[in-house]
Chain A
Amino acid sequence: NAGVTQTPKFQVLKTGQSMTLQCAQDMNHNSMYWYRQDPGMGLRLIYYSASEGTTDKGEVPNGYNVSRLNKREFSLRLESAAPSQTSVYFCASRLQGGTYEQYFGPGTRLTVT
């Protein structure tokens, strides 16, 4: 049981480049989330998927798109990276109807130059 996995662990992009961050969970959870973490600002929700087939914007969705590929996988895409998107990105998942605990992955550290 790997929990929540994220790839890649580190990435450096040039301004304007695109990339997709991958997230997968093997806990049969319904809900999945993408957060970004910046110093002094805590964790801010980018997008979430309450269940397979649905996605909704969070607090800071601009510049990002998501795809809930299936129940296990939830990807985050940066179409045209900007330096303001330099951050650590965390994926999380939660079982609806269970405890309210969100389980986090190990994070992806992204630098945009």
Chain B
Amino acid sequence: GENVEQHPSTLSVQEGDSAVIKCTYSDSASNYFPWYKQELGKGPQLIIDIRSNVGEKKDQRIAVTLNKTAKHFSLHITETQPEDSAVYFCAAPSGDHMEYGNKLVFGAGTILRVKS
């Protein structure tokens, strides 16, 4: 089955700097890669996702890049702000790929701290 590894486990940046979180996956047939943000005391929430037919996707200050050859994808946050402090999870599909994303395998998470 799919295996997802996420690095780093914690990341501290100064407000205004960029943050990068990286994930690798094992199943070359995986075709959908979401990123979730979890604020303290809340459930995770989708912030951006990418499908395997594109190499990069941007949404304001966040972007995701995908390298299918190397089987890794990354989350990039530019001009970080204190409200970006949270736990971030990457994920990849597991099981029957006819149901893209019906089951997800999550990375272990990255605690991002933005210091002001």
Contact = CB atoms under 8 A, between A and B. Distances in A.
Interface of A: 4, 31, 40-45, 48, 50, 58-59, 90, 92, 94, 96, 100-102, 104-107
Contact of B43 (A50, A58, A90, A94): A90
B107 to A, nearest CB: 6
Contacts of A41: 108
Majority SS at the chain B contact face:
loop
Interface stretch (B55-63, B69-77, B78-86, B94-102): B94-102
A43 B106 contact: yes
Nearest to A92: B43
A42 B89 contact: yes
B102 A106 contact: no
A90 B99 contact: no
A66 to B, nearest CB: 14
B45 interface: yes
B9 interface: yes
Contacts of A107: 41-43
10 contacts: A40-B108, A42-B89, A43-B106, A45-B104, A48-B102, A94-B101, A96-B102, A101-B46, A104-B43, A106-B42
B34 A42 contact: no
Interface in B11-57: 32, 34, 36, 41-46, 49
A43 B45 CA distance: 13
Given A101-B46, A101-B49, A45 B108 contact: no
A58 B95 CA distance: 10
Contacts of B102: 31, 48, 50, 94, 96, 100
B99 A42 contact: no
B108 A48 contact: no
A68 to B, nearest CB: 15
Given A40-B9, A42-B107, A43-B89, A101 B44 contact: no
A102 B99 contact: no
Contacts of B45: 104
Contact of A105 (B43, B89, B105, B107): B43
Given A31-B102, A105-B43, 10 more contacts: A40-B109, A43-B106, A45-B104, A50-B102, A59-B105, A90-B44, A94-B101, A100-B32, A101-B34, A104-B45
